[in-house]
Structure 1
Amino acid sequence: MIDVNKLLEILLYQKDDPILFNSAFFFYFFAIFLLCYLAVGRSKEGRVWVFTIFSLYFFYKACGMYVGLVILSAIVDFNLSRYIYDSESKRQQKGLLIISIVLNLGLLFFFKYTDFFIGIINDLHLGKVEPLKLLLPIGISFYTFENLSYTIDVYRREIKPVDNFMDYLFFLSFFPKLMMGPIVRAADFIPQISQPYVLDAEDIGKGMYLIIGGLFKKVVISDFINQNFVQYIFDDPSKHTGLECLLGVYGYALIIYCDFSGYSDMALGIARWTGFKIPPNFDSPYQSSSITEFWRRWHISLSSWLRDYLYIPLGGNRKGKVRQYINLGLTMLIGGFWHGASWNFIFWGAMHGSALAVDKVRLDWLKKRGGGVTGWAGTLLKIGGILLTFHFVCFCWVFFKATTFQDSWALLHQVVYDFQPGVWLELYNGYTAVFWVMLLGFVLHFLPKRTEQFTEHALSRVPVVGSVVIMVVFIWLLVQVKSSQPMMPIYLQF
């Protein structure tokens, strides 16, 4: 007999157990969704309704009644964009755009930054205000930016507004990218809605590679290293030697990449299986030989969004070199603040902004000299650039990961003043499996692109039955190695 209470407990939102791509519940959810989606595959309206209903339920399972914010945001920007497009008055268009920007950023600001500024007021003794302790709606940073890019593009006459509200709600609530991105633009996504749903061998192979690879990065690499090593280091860096702290920072660099890119890959893979192609969000960022290249490879959707809707409107490189460097710094400072209401994130953004400005000076200097060094000297410089960029990024990750400035400086103090390289063997014996998984993670990250292409092509040639077997076997293996308590994705807090 079915236990109704148990069933309701599973189906209803649980604050301490949100739906995750690597949870058992999601596999059942996705299987049922896929069956329903395939059943209406020939009908554009059927696909939109099925996908939207499942997406809204997915969001409800992730953060409860905050699902209403997605619907409200869709209603507001769907109508405002149409008013903007239909208006013949430039002044009225600009006024409506400002309303959209204020409403979207106001909603984000209220949930994400209210307590931060209340803390500043209290710290400066300007008043005694009780923090609201608001629960941050999952995905709000991502769908807010998607709303903004849509209304701004309509205002610029780069796209026409959507005629059907359900199409826009579908775009905004699309569950694969709802929780952790990537930030998808309406101009790239909405035209695909009306295209016939055709799934070929390439889609199956590419989707399977992305889903399997994403799960592997998230569960096998990121969760394992985090749970068994890195979280101990960052909980109290002063209790660990400098060598442990340094390895903990290297571990975190791998964790945040595998965690975030793993989720992004799964989103791309699921989208591919349902007939949608979303641009990749990561491109082996630790292979970058400069900080400029790093930001072309890391969180690509955010980097390009900040470039097109913040850096360029600020003036970009059109108002002289000094102004360009200031614009770079401001863009990254705001990008840091987007990640969270914390001075650590602001400092992290400021460091990256300053580095980008300095690197721009270097690039301009090389351009005047006719380019960089070639041959073996150029290869050595490239390797040196990769090592320097990686360690600068790792230095900044310390502030990104640590809860407070005090914790950040405590970890760096240990690395500089209490390194103790002699504990290496003892450390290796205590964390053997962790270090081998870390090595595996970095080796996979630095594999050439052709390895990925070869694997995708091989999977695309596997028959459907074989694909199902591969997925089932992989999920079974995943269950054997995954932690009993699912690790929350890092970017869930943003």
Structure 2
Amino acid sequence: MFDIEKILSHVLYDPKDPVLFNSAFFLYFFAFFLLCYQLVAHNQRGRVWVFTIFSLYLFYKACNEYVLLVILSAIVDFNLSRWINDLKTPWKRKWLLAFSIVINVGVLFYFKYTNFFIGIMNDLSVGHFTPIHVLLPIGISFYTFENLSYTIDVYRKEIKPVTNFMDYLFFLSFFPKLMMGPIVRAADFLPQIYKPYHLTKEDVGRGLFLIMGGLFKKVVISDFIYQNFVQYIFDDPSRHTGIECLMGVYGYALVIYCDFSGYSDMAIGIARWMGFVVPPNFDKPYRSSSITEFWRRWHISLSSWLKDYIYIPLGGNRKGKFRQQVNLMLTMLIGGFWHGANWNFIFWGGMHGGALAVDKVWIKWQKARTFLKTNTVAAKLWKLGGILFTFHFVCFCWIFFESKTFGDSWTLIHQVAFDFQGNLWKDLLTGYTAVFILMAIGYIAHFLPYKVEFKLEKYLEKLPVWASIVVMVAFIWCIIQVKTTEPMIPIYFRF
């Protein structure tokens, strides 16, 4: 007989059982979804309905009744965008756009920033307000930005609004990217809905490569390094020597990259199998030789969103050098605040904003140096120096990003500066051998030439479907054998 209670415990929302791409539930969910999707693959409306229903169900499994927020926000912006498009009076269109922005930002503000500002008012003795008990809905920062970009693009007449509500709900709830991004533009995604479903060998190979690579980065590298080393350092840096803290920072730089880029790769790979091309979200960011280049390679969907909807509307570089630097600082402060209601995030954004402003001046100085335009040893060494400096600046900023308080950030920095104890490096390597082996593998893979990945991807493309399935199943089995006992909640679930 079927155990109804046990079945319901698996299919209903359970706050103790998070939905992760590497969880057993998701494998069953995805297998059933693939079956249903293939049955309607060549029916455009059928694909939209099946994908949307499965997406909303998965989101329900992740955050219960907050799935209604996705539906409600889709209803609001679907209608507002159509009204904005139909109106001819400029001031009415502006008011409707402003209303859309207020609604979207207001909902995000309520869930994400209310208690932060209550704390500020209490600290300033403006009054004594009791913090409210509110849970942050998973993915709200991502789909709010997608809503905003869609309505703004319609207002700018860069895209036409969709006429079918289910198409917009499908775009907003698309499950591969709903909970953790990438932030997908409607202009890139919506036209793909109406194209016939056609899966090529390139799609299969590319999707398989991204999914396997993403699983490896997330489960094998990120989870293991964090749970077996990095979390100990950041939980209480005062208990660790400077060399431990420094290696913890290097470890965290790899953890956050492999965690987020791994999930992004899986999302893009799954989308590719469904016939949708989602732009890449990471491009080996630690190979950057400047902070400007870093932000072209790191969380590309957020970087481009901030550029198009914050930096350029503020004036970009059109109003003089000083104003450009102010705009860069404001944009990155907003980017830091987007990550969370915490002074550490604002400080992190401010440091990156300041670095971008300085970098604009530095880039201009470099352009005047003729030796940098050649392919000489000096030019290569200069670039290497830029990579090392940029990487260490980014690592320094990660300290504030990950630490729970300012105090913890400065404690960690103090340990590195004044209690380094470099003579303990052998003991450290002996105690965390597996961790440092995985760190070496992660960084080596990150700096491998693109052609290595290209060859592997091309090899996967040549496999027949049955062989691709065998490779995928075998790879997942191997992942299960080495993954940590407790699944690590993705870092960007917080945002």
TM-score range, shorter chain: over 0.9
Matches within 5 A, 1:148-227: 148-227=148-227
- Classify the secondary structure of the residue corresponding to 1:486: coil
Cross-structure match for 1:472: 473
Is 1:259 the counterpart of 2:259? The answer is: yes
Distance 2:364 2:321 in 1: 10
Distance 2:178 2:390 in 1: 31
Cross-structure match for 1:446: 447
Q: Which whole-Å deviations, capped at 9, do the CAs of 1:243-293 have from their partners, x for residues lacking one?
A: 000000000000000000000000000000000000000000000000000
Cross-structure match for 2:398: 397
Is 1:129 the counterpart of 2:129? The answer is: yes
Q: Which whole-Å deviations, capped at 9, do the CAs of 1:405-435 have from their partners, x for residues lacking one?
A: 0000000000000000111111111100000
TM-superposed deviation, 1:351 = 0.1
TM-superposed deviation, 1:134 = 1.1
Cross-structure match for 1:410: 411
Q: Which whole-Å deviations, capped at 9, do the CAs of 1:142-193 have from their partners, x for residues lacking one?
A: 0000000000000000000001100000000000000110000000000000
Q: Which amino acid aligns with 1:295?
A: W
Q: Which amino acid aligns with 1:410?
A: T
TM-superposed deviation, 1:367 = 3.3
Distance 1:320 1:82 in 2: 37
Number of equivalenced pairs: 494
Distance 1:88 1:103 in 2: 22
Distance 2:187 2:373 in 1: 40
Distance 2:8 2:81 in 1: 39
Conserved? CA contact 2:339–2:345, under 8 Å? yes
Is 1:97 the counterpart of 2:92? The answer is: no
Conserved? CA contact 2:242–2:417, under 8 Å? yes
Distance 1:18 1:85 in 2: 40
Distance 1:59 1:365 in 2: 49
Is 1:120 the counterpart of 2:120? The answer is: yes
Please, which runs of 5 or more residues in structure 1 have no aligned partner?
none
Distance 2:492 2:311 in 1: 23
Q: Which whole-Å deviations, capped at 9, do the CAs of 1:7-59 have from their partners, x for residues lacking one?
A: 11111111122211111100000000011001100100000000000000010
Distance 1:365 1:223 in 2: 41
Q: Which whole-Å deviations, capped at 9, do the CAs of 1:286-336 have from their partners, x for residues lacking one?
A: 000000000000000000000000000000000000000000000001000
Cross-structure match for 1:239: 239
TM-superposed deviation, 1:372 = 3.0
Conserved? CA contact 2:371–2:379, under 8 Å? no
Cross-structure match for 2:460: 459
Cross-structure match for 1:55: 55
Cross-structure match for 2:85: 85
Cross-structure match for 2:492: 491
Conserved? CA contact 2:184–2:301, under 8 Å? yes
Cross-structure match for 1:73: 73
Q: Which amino acid aligns with 1:399?
A: F
TM-superposed deviation, 1:461 = 0.3
Q: Which amino acid aligns with 2:444?
A: V
Cross-structure match for 1:331: 331
- Classify the secondary structure of the residue corresponding to 2:434: helix
Q: Which amino acid aligns with 1:422?
A: N
TM-superposed deviation, 1:371 = 7.9
Length-normalised TM-score, structure 1: 0.99
Q: Which amino acid aligns with 1:356?
A: L
Q: Which whole-Å deviations, capped at 9, do the CAs of 1:385-412 have from their partners, x for residues lacking one?
A: 0000000000000000000000000000
Distance 2:260 2:72 in 1: 27
TM-superposed deviation, 1:451 = 0.9
Distance 1:39 1:46 in 2: 9
Distance 1:133 1:117 in 2: 14
- Classify the secondary structure of the residue corresponding to 1:372: helix
Q: Which amino acid aligns with 1:152?
A: I
Q: Which amino acid aligns with 1:117?
A: F
Distance 1:368 1:161 in 2: 46
Instruction: Kindly report structure 1 stretches of 4+ aligned residues shifted beyond 6 Å.
Output: none
Distance 1:266 1:211 in 2: 4
Length-normalised TM-score, structure 2: 0.99
Q: Which amino acid aligns with 1:264?
A: S
Please, which runs of 5 or more residues in structure 2 have no aligned partner?
none
Cross-structure match for 1:433: 434
Distance 1:370 1:431 in 2: 46
- Classify the secondary structure of the residue corresponding to 1:163: coil
Cross-structure match for 1:285: 285
Distance 1:369 1:319 in 2: 26
Is 1:372 the counterpart of 2:391? The answer is: no
Cross-structure match for 2:142: 142
Q: Which whole-Å deviations, capped at 9, do the CAs of 1:61-111 have from their partners, x for residues lacking one?
A: 110000000000000000000000000100100000000000000000000
Q: Which amino acid aligns with 1:463?
A: P
Distance 2:131 2:347 in 1: 23
Conserved? CA contact 2:371–2:378, under 8 Å? no
Cross-structure match for 2:425: 424
Distance 1:367 1:386 in 2: 17
RMSD: 0.8
- Classify the secondary structure of the residue corresponding to 2:372: coil
Q: Which amino acid aligns with 1:492?
A: F
- Classify the secondary structure of the residue corresponding to 2:33: helix
Distance 1:389 1:286 in 2: 8
TM-superposed deviation, 1:133 = 2.8
- Classify the secondary structure of the residue corresponding to 1:341: coil
Distance 2:371 2:151 in 1: 40
TM-superposed deviation, 1:128 = 1.2
Distance 1:124 1:317 in 2: 36
Distance 1:13 1:130 in 2: 29
My pick for the range that moved more, 439-448 or 364-373, is 364-373
TM-superposed deviation, 1:368 = 4.6
Distance 1:64 1:370 in 2: 60
